[in-house]
Amino acid sequence: NGYYYSYWSKCIYSSRDFSDMVFILNFNFNKDVYVQFNSTVGYWVGFTAYGVRNAEFWNNDTADLQGWRAEADT
Architecture per CATH, domain 5-13+21-65, reads as Roll (3.10)
pLDDT value for 20: 79
| pLDDT per residue as tens digits for the range 29-51 | 998 999 999 988 999 999 999 99
- Close Cβ partners of 25 (under 8 Å, ≥ 6 residues apart): 7, 8, 9, 36, 37, 68, 71
Question: Are 46 and 55 contacting, i.e. CB atoms less than 8 angstroms apart?
Answer: yes
Domain boundaries, given as residue ranges, for the chain: 5-13+21-65
| pLDDT per residue as tens digits for the range 52-69 | 999 999 999 999 998 888
Measured CA to CA, the distance from residue 48 to residue 27 in angstroms comes to 11
pTM of the full structure: 0.82
Helices (H) and strands (E) in the chain, counts: 2, 4
